[in-house]
Amino acid sequence: KLQTEEVEVFSTPSYACQRRTTLDNHNAVLTDALSLLAENAELSGEDGRGVAFRRAAAALKALPLPVTRLTQLGGVPCLGGHSLRVIKDVLESGASPEVEALRRSERFKALKVLTGIFGVGVKTAGRWIGEGILTLRQLRDSGPTLNRAQRAGLRHYDDLNRPVGRAEAAAVAAVVEAAAGSVLPGARVTLIGGFRRGKQTGHDVDFLITHPEEGREAGLMPKLVSWLDSQGFLLYQKTNSNSYLEAAEGPARPASNMDRFERCFSVFKLPEEAGRGGAGAGGEGGPRPWRAVRVDLVVSPVSQFAFALLGWTGSKLFERELRRWAGHEMNMCLSSHALYDHRQSRYLRASSEEEIFAHLGLEYIPPSERNA
């Protein structure tokens, strides 16, 4: 008896912000390969190629089942020739020669190690590699001048490259809430970034802070930082002051609206609770009583809170796709501060993420389904 084998053909909308992407990825082998190529492109300063691979990986993350044949991908967007070749190799032989060669490449390994230092970007890492510095040891020995962030990054390298767990994120949250409550009673602290999307670990912990009374949040960051510092919680911090003025700037420079809140990049000294201080924290003298954790703090006026919440919850690709959708499909300009409608020549107000999705003509996607 002849049986036709049924193979599902997948299809999914083309913008990541039109799709529901949970952490339950059925195509991790494929998306890991594409993400590695994306990472390499980004580390080589080829951002356009990086985005193309990120989009391809994100389209596969949204599929409900593992892909087994190339013919199933007919309705899947964002797959260019290069991505399809990699997918084909992985489906046929379990691995892509290009990706495996990349994994072994000295340059890629060096770029990962060096940009793994907090404060070291792609350009600095590339310059050091050009000078023959490929490892942390060579960096320490040859001693190029490091700035304050890089010195902290090198000093706490192991801690900062160890994933932060949910329990640790909760411990940081308790500290930030105590700080906010002490310097501005009534201030509200919200966990954002990957942990808000439901991730079990992160490379840092991100918080958005506001106050229900507009204006009361002004000048909060310096007070917060000095409280944290006085209590011994800070190993490093760099604060940027708010420079966003809606009326003065308008929607003209949307991309640069990205970091105009009061914002603090920091490294916390987080006390390790008894019973979970062991793993990885040890030096010669046994477990240390604390570990270093990267923490990002953002302060927003309550009138911009929904935009800030949406803009800082991620994923990075989901955010990028939201802004692309707004611009290309709606003739609007979305930032973490506001949504401007070019057709109506006015700002569209919102006090919740749901309202922003509605303004954008998109179905609401909750944080746990923004893991594109």
Residue type, 120: V
User: What's the closest the beta carbon of residue 201 comes to Mn ion, in angstroms?
Assistant: 10
Contacted entry of ligand TTP, Mn ion, none for residue 311, CB cut-off 5 to 8 Å set by kind: ligand TTP
Helix (H) or strand (E) holding 194: helix 193-196
Please choose which of Mn ion, ligand TTP, none residue 315 contacts, taking the beta carbon within 5 to 8 angstroms, the exact cut-off set by kind.
Answer: ligand TTP
Q: Which residues bind Mn ion (CB under 5 A)?
A: 24, 193-194, 202, 204, 206, 296
Q: Which residues bind ligand TTP (CB under 6 A)?
A: 193-194, 199, 202-204, 206, 258-259, 296, 311-312, 314-316, 319, 336
206 is catalytic: yes
Indicate the residue among 166 and 203 with the shorter CB distance to ligand TTP: 203
Residue 5 token pair:
């084998």
Residue whose CB is nearest to ligand TTP in the complex, by number: 314
- Cα separation, 230 vs 225, in Å, equals 8
State the nearest-atom distance from the C-beta of 206 to ligand TTP, in Å: 5
Residue nearest Mn ion by beta-carbon distance: 193
User: From Mn ion, ligand TTP, none, which one binds at residue 251 (CB under 5 to 8 Å depending on kind)?
Assistant: none
Which residues share a beta bridge with 299?
Answer: 209, 262
* Closest to 197 in 3D by CA, of 300, 361, 293, 319: 319
Give the amino acid at 111: L
The letter for the amino acid at 92 is: E
Tokens of 305: 């809170």
- Whole-angstrom distance, CA of residue 297 vs CA of residue 125: 26
Q: How far is the CB of 78 from ligand TTP (least distance, A)?
A: 19
**Catalytic annotation, pick one of 89, 229, 296, 341:** 296
Which of 158, 204, 229, 341 is the catalytic position? 204
Shortest distance, position 335 Cβ to ligand TTP, whole Å: 8
| DSSP per residue, 71-137 | GGGTB--S--HHHHHHHHHHHHHSS-HHHHHHHH-HHHHHHHHHHTSTT--HHHHHHHHHTT--SHH
Question: Which of 108, 101, 105, 66 is closest to 87 using CA atoms?
Answer: 66
Q: How far is CA 156 from CA 117, 141, 152, 160, in A?
A: 9, 17, 6, 6
Q: How far is the CB of 315 from ligand TTP (least distance, A)?
A: 5
Q: Report whether the peptide linkage leading into residue 336 is cis, meaning its omega lies within 30 degrees of zero.
A: no
Phi-psi region of 233 (alpha: psi -120 to 50; beta: other; left: phi over 0): alpha
- Chain centroid to CA 325: 19
| Token duo for residue 354 | 């749901």
Integer Cα distance of 97 and 86 in angstroms: 8
Pick what 259 binds: ligand TTP, Mn ion, none; C-beta below 5 to 8 Å, kind-dependent: ligand TTP
> Rounded to whole angstroms, how far apart are CA atoms 113 and 125?
9
Residue 169 Cβ vs Mn ion, minimum distance, rounded to whole Å: 9
Active site residue 296: yes
* Nearer residue to ligand TTP within complex by CB, 316 or 342: 316
Catalytic residue among 32, 47, 158, 206: 206
Q: Considering the complex, what minimum distance in angstroms separates the CB of residue 320 from ligand TTP?
A: 9
Catalytic residues: 204, 206, 296
